[in-house]
Amino acid sequence: MRLSRYFLPVLKEDPKEAQIVSHRLMLRAGMIKQQAAGIYSWLPLGLKVLRRIEQIVHEEQQRAGHIPLLMPTLQSADLWRESGRYDDYGEEMLRIKDRHKRDLLYGPTNEEMVTDIFRSHVNSYKDLPLTLYHIQWKFRDEIRPRFGVMRGREFLMKDGYNFDLTKEDALHAYNRHLVSYLRTYERMGLQAIPMRADGGPIGGDYTHEFLVLAETGESEVFYDSQITDLTFGDRQIDYDDVEQCQAVLEEFTSRYARTDETHDQALFDQIPEDRRRSARGIEVGQIFYFGTKYSEPMGATVVGPDGSRVPVHMGSHGIGVSRLLGAIIEASHDDKGIIWPEGVTPFHVGIVNLKQGDVSTDSACEAIYAELKTRGLDPLYDDRDERAGAKFASMDLIGLPWRVTVGPRGLANNKVELTNRRTGESEEMSPQEAVDRLQQIYLPVLNAGAPAAAK
Amino acid sequence: MRLSRYFLPVLKEDPKEAQIVSHRLMLRAGMIKQQAAGIYSWLPLGLKVLRRIEQIVHEEQQRAGHIPLLMPTLQSADLWRESGRYDDYGEEMLRIKDRHKRDLLYGPTNEEMVTDIFRSHVNSYKDLPLTLYHIQWKFRDEIRPRFGVMRGREFLMKDGYNFDLTKEDALHAYNRHLVSYLRTYERMGLQAIPMRADGGPIGGDYTHEFLVLAETGESEVFYDSQITDLTFGDRQIDYDDVEQCQAVLEEFTSRYARTDETHDQALFDQIPEDRRRSARGIEVGQIFYFGTKYSEPMGATVVGPDGSRVPVHMGSHGIGVSRLLGAIIEASHDDKGIIWPEGVTPFHVGIVNLKQGDVSTDSACEAIYAELKTRGLDPLYDDRDERAGAKFASMDLIGLPWRVTVGPRGLANNKVELTNRRTGESEEMSPQEAVDRLQQIYLPVLNAGAPAAAK
């Protein structure tokens, strides 16, 4: 993309309404615009990151064998009366009357609707296991929306639902989700720690929250420092392998890690003192097993192997897609702006032309731009007629991990500068070397989405 | 995808509620499920087609230089009070009160919001031309929702908005949209004819509707039969070239083609009688130029070259993304089911194993399945233990354009059968030849999304 043709309204001043750094930086970098309390437009740069995150979530869900569908944003109140949650949910549910005075609501979650889809179409245990998920806009009418997309009212969430014949099968689905979430967050450059959590209004005994450590986190968390040494890495997982998934769950949840809601000081004190940590965390996902809580009242049953009807065992599993942008920025920024991890950056590299209008720098930039695109990369070329300082400041603010700087002095020796946003280190090399290096850097990112061996 | 692991709830019986063929076939093929009047879940197969259509729209919009953003589904009523449309819009607008009794609405369109974004961030004519678009869920509270996704209440639409300094520039944006729409629909296998239309509640003197001819269309249309001979084909267009875009507009709109709203019998009668046609049409898009209708009351101005502030000239341009599924099916089906054009088919090819469990047919199917995926194709492998007749009926119903049939008798001579869904013609060939042929068939589809030469 050429910046002269893009819509990137960066702000020079810190917006007053933003209390936390991610909100401030998203506004300054021209990523979002508030349209009403807790309701945002995603400007082009913000949308690009949102789509990268969404894409990673889709790829990892489908790698785990989960099937995408899309439920609507509005739901009939009648479904929620069946489960008993229409009255329970309180003021956070946005209730709506249509022109015929029928009760609708803007879905805050989809257990009822997906259970309705299941009961309408699935009849036999032979169609199990089944996990359906969608990524759709939700609404929760927060009394005090704040912190930008971290606590918005209209927000994008991935929510998935497993249907299994037995509790044992459903717990495998639970484990499968835990494994896929570990992969998902790592691809976004995040360490998200699964912590034992509280069921809340969804219900359920088995539940883990995934938390990203950050000073501005809304939850207080307590953990054994050994847990932050764990990484999932690029290990191959067979998601059908019950033992393999169980082993990952045990590896990542056997050390103490809890939010304040489930914290147990006596247990915590058993950890050697030098490994005890308390910190703040941002919740970016949660998984639940809740058995027959919805299938029983709503009649979601299958004919089992013995010919009798049994309610299915279910769980639900969420990732806060829009909130992740805030969490990533909270975990990765400096005083100049955002520092995107390579997995989610809106553009892979910025090209800064130090002398726009100069025939040789223009043509060198054009060549680099075209060659990067040929290699499958997505560059942002700052082709505006602006001072170098302003161009650098914009690039630092929007946080692309790599920058190629092209000026007449370097070009005289066939050199451009490749700069790492995180370390600030620059290296001179030929344009060709810069393109090769960038391709090498992004190879793991571009290949990460490749499907596992045909299933 | 293996059918044994997919969620494809096809219906054997014709659903009673469906009055038109696309609605009936979408229900029978397990593509959608109604959740409330005019509100649908998109089951996995339906979502796949929806995403293919969305992807084509994105690619063609971006090829034309238009910039994607994403505005929220809910909007503040205050914005609509500024334009005066809050009171005008009537009962089709879904009005909502939040917990603090503030007036919100579920956006039926986005002129006001995008104008607000523009006025907040753009100040100079140097930032023009600018066209912003999004693909987002909309809601219109139709009094009698019907015909499935053709006249739903919650529906997916692409709406784009151009901002230009002069009327002349804005009319180029209008032409650019017309050209991009012609390309868009042709990639979906549709002939959509631009017809002179009526401005309606959006307003504006310049407006064309795009109509797909189909017996079940809601509009009566009148046209010169020469217009159906026009195709856009694979001509290269420079979207910045004013004359080139104007020439396409003239080519496609100089012959008589109008809906009943703007029909002029006297003009129509001037066409030679053998070329006069009247038929039914389904509206799948509309483009508007409306000048300063929103920019003036809402204060969307820029500083012009002479230093004075002027309101920008605007237009809006819509494609009915979810409705297109219905339109495509209305235009392309037979009594066995849907016939997807290759550009939008949910899976590129179906593989039917005639003897599931037989070692040699199973392994031949596996090899074909894996090889198709390696070539970048997306096959659906019917690996269920079902009768051949049932497998054929399902494949015909869901309408994949090509089928590979693998059975022990053919395999004894290293033959499989490649069948064209539209013509019903089958040809025997080796598995290798079938894979090669399919790759060849889909080459234009897979390449159609490739970006034009770097801009």
Least Cα separation, residue B209 to chain A (angstroms): 27
Distance from CA of B74 to the nearest CA of A (A): 8
Verify whether the Cβ–Cβ distance A96 to B96 is below 8 Å.
Answer: yes
- B427 vs A411: CA distance, rounded Å: 60
The two beta strands, A192-196 and A313-320, are unpaired
Residues 72-101 of A with CB under 8 A from B: 72-76, 79, 91-92, 94, 96, 98-99
How far apart are the CA of A426 and the nearest CA of chain B, in angstroms? Answer: 27
CB proximity under 8 Å: B 147-186 to A = 153-154
Distance, in Å, from the CA atom of A294 to the CA atom of A324, rounded to the nearest integer, reads 28
pLDDT in tens, A64-82: 999 999 999 999 999 999 9
Please report, to the nearest 10 degrees, the dihedral formed by the alpha carbons of residues B72, B76, B79, B80 taken in order: 100
What residues in A contact B370, CB-CB < 8 Å? Answer: 454
CA distance B433 to B411: 13
B43: which chain A residues are within 8 Å (Cβ-Cβ)? 69, 117
The nearest alpha carbon in chain A to B11 belongs to A121
**Rounded Cα gap, residues B146 and B148, in angstroms:** 5
Please tell me the distance in Å from A18's CA to the nearest CA on chain B.
17
Of B348, B346, B321, B331, the residue nearest B444 (C-alpha): B348
Residues 6 or more apart whose CB falls under 8 angstroms from that of A375 comprise A435, A438, A439
Q: Taking Cα atoms as reference points, which of B321, B324, B330, B50 lies closest to residue B213?
A: B330
Contact call for B67 and A44, based on CB within 8 A: yes
> Which token pair is A30?
């021209």
**Which two three-digit tokens encode residue B277?**
């046609």
Contact status, residue A131 vs residue A67, Cβ threshold 8 Å: yes
HEC secondary structure over B122-144? CCEHHHCCEEEEEEEEEECCCCC
For residue A228, give the nearest of A206, A187, A256 by alpha carbon: A256
Nearest CB to B33 within list A35, A41, A120: A120
Read off the pLDDT band of A454 (50, 70, 90): very low
Amino acid at A181: Y
SS3 content of chain B, % helix, strand, coil (to 5): 40, 30, 35
Separation between Cα atoms, residue A437 and residue A440, nearest integer Å: 5
Is B42 in contact with A7 (Cβ distance < 8 A)? no
Residue in B5, B36, B96 nearest the CB of A65: B5
Do you know the residue count of chain B? Answer: 455
Low-confidence ranges of chain B (pLDDT < 50): 453-455
CB of A121 within 8 Å of any CB in chain B? yes
A-chain CB neighbours of B6 within 8 Å are: 67
Distance from CA of A273 to the nearest CA of B (A): 47
Question: Taking 50 as the threshold, does the pLDDT of residue A453 lie above it?
Answer: no
The tally of CA atoms less than 13 A away on the side-chain side of residue A63 is: 22
| Chain-chain contact of B74 with A455 (C-beta, under 8 angstroms) | no
Least CB–CB distance from B76: residue in A6, A33, A35: A35
Tokens 């309204």 belong to residue: A9
Partners of B104 on chain A (C-beta within 8 Å) are 36
Please give the helix or strand (H or E) that residue B369 lies within, else none: helix B359-374
Binary contact (B98, A98; C-beta < 8 A): no
Question: How is domain A3-335 classified at the architecture level of CATH?
Answer: 2-Layer Sandwich (3.30)
Query: CA B382, B383, B388, B391 torsion: positive or negative?
Result: negative
Question: Which residues of chain B are within 8 Å of residue A30 when distances are taken between CB atoms?
Answer: 121
Three-class DSSP category at B155: strand
Mean pLDDT of chain A: 95
Measured between CA atoms, the residue of chain B closest to residue A115 is: B35
Residue A34 makes CB contacts below 8 A (sequence gap 6+) with A17, A40, A41
A9, A72, A122: residue with CB nearest B35:
A72
Residue A453 backbone dihedrals phi, psi, to 5 degrees: -45, 140
Residues of B whose CB is below 8 A from A366: 454
- For A349-448, the fitting CATH number among 3.40.50.970, 3.90.190.20, 3.40.50.800, 3.90.580.10 is 3.40.50.800
Query: Cα dihedral sign for B322, B324, B327, B331?
Result: negative
Nearest-CA distance from B26 to chain A in Å?
A: 14
Beta carbons within 10 angstroms of residue A389's beta carbon: 8
- Give dist(CA A221, CA A279) in Å, integer: 5
Q: By CA distance, what is B152's nearest residue in A?
A: A72
Residues A67, B39: C-beta atoms closer than 8 Å: no
ipTM confidence: 0.96
Spacing of C-alpha A442 from chain mean position: 19
Question: What residue type is assigned to position A81 of the chain?
Answer: R
Compute the count of residue pairs across chains A and B with CB atoms less than 8 Å apart: 155
pLDDT, position B12: 87
Within 8 A by CB and 6+ apart from B151, the residues are B38, B142, B145, B218, B323
Residue ranges per structural domain of chain B: 3-338, 349-448
**In chain A, whose CA is at the least distance from the CA of B367?**
A454
Q: Do B141 and A370 touch (CB under 8 A)?
A: no
Residues 1-60 of A with CB under 8 A from B: 2, 5-7, 9, 30, 33, 35-37, 39-44, 47, 50
Whole-number pLDDT of residue B32: 98
Cα A368 → chain centroid = 31
Task: Decide if pLDDT at A452 tops 60.
Answer: no
Question: 3-class SS at A230?
Answer: coil
Predicted pLDDT at A203: 56
- What gap in Å lies between CA B213 and CA B282, rounded to an integer? 6
Q: What distance in Å separates the CA atoms of residue A277 and residue A223, rounded to the nearest whole number? A: 5
How far is the C-alpha of A350 from the C-alpha of B276, rounded, in Å? Answer: 56
Question: Which residues of A fall within a CB distance of 8 Å from B35?
Answer: 71-72, 75-76, 79, 113, 116
- Token pair in block for residue A357: 């209008």
Q: Which residue on chain A is closest to B97 by alpha carbon?
A: A96
DSSP A321-364: HHHHHHHHHHHSEETTEE---TTT-SSSEEEEETTTT-HHHHHH
Question: What is the average per-residue pLDDT within A199-211?
Answer: 76
Give how far Cα A104 sits from Cα of A74, A100, A159, B36, B149, Å.
Answer: 7, 11, 20, 9, 19
Cβ distance of B74 and A41 shorter than 8 Å: no
Question: What pLDDT was estimated at residue A199?
Answer: 67
**d(CA B185, nearest CA chain A) in Å:** 24
pLDDT score at B14: 87
Q: By CB neighbour count within 10 A (0-12 exposed, 13-18 middle, 19+ buried), where does A217 fall?
A: buried
Task: Classify burial at B362, counting beta carbons within 10 Å of its beta carbon; exposed 0-12, middle 13-18, buried 19 or more.
Answer: middle
pLDDT at residue A447 greater than cutoff 70: yes
Q: Is A135 helix (H, G, I), strand (E, B) or coil?
A: strand
Interhelix angle A321-331/A44-63, rounded to 10 degrees, is 110
Q: Which residues of A, range 392-451, sit inside 8 Å of B by Cβ?
A: 451
Query: Exposure string (b/e) for A179-210, b if CB count within 10 Å is 16 or more?
Result: bbbbbbbbbbbbbbbbbbbebeebebebbbbb
Q: Once rounded to an integer, what is the mean pLDDT over residues A81-86?
A: 93
pLDDT reported for residue B186? 97
Whether B112 contacts B75, CB under 8 Å: yes
Please, what is the Cα angle at B141 between B139 and B144, to 5 degrees?
A: 130
**Residues in B 354-383 with any Cβ partner in A closer than 8 A:** 366, 369-370, 373
Q: What is the pLDDT of residues A100-110, one digit of tens each?
A: 999 999 999 99
Q: Which of A37, A44, A153 has its CB closest to that of B69?
A: A44
Q: Is 90 exceeded by the pLDDT of residue A16?
A: no
Q: Which CATH architecture has domain B3-338?
A: 2-Layer Sandwich (3.30)
Dump pLDDT digits (tens) for A29-45. 999 999 999 999 999 99
Q: CA torsion A454→B5→B6→B11, rounded to 10°?
A: 140
Q: Which residue of B has its CA nearest to A373?
A: B454
Using a pLDDT cut of 70, give the percent of chain A over it: 97
Cβ <8 Å between A69 and B47 = yes
Q: Using omega within 30 degrees of 0 as the cis cutoff, is the peptide bond preceding A72 cis?
A: no
> Looking at the partner chain, which of A70, A143, A454 has a beta carbon nearest the beta carbon of B373?
A454
**CB–CB of A117 and B33 under 8 A?**
yes
Question: In a mutagenesis test of the B interface, which of A17, A39, A53, A100 is the best target, namely the one with the most B β-carbons within 10 Å?
Answer: A39
Give all strands of the β-sheet with A103-106 in edge-to-edge order.
Answer: A74-76, A103-106, A94-97
pLDDT in tens, B404-453: 999 999 999 999 999 999 999 999 999 999 999 999 999 999 999 876 54
The answer to whether the CB atoms of B113 and A41 lie below 8 A apart is yes
Of A40, A69, A98, the CB nearest to B43: A69
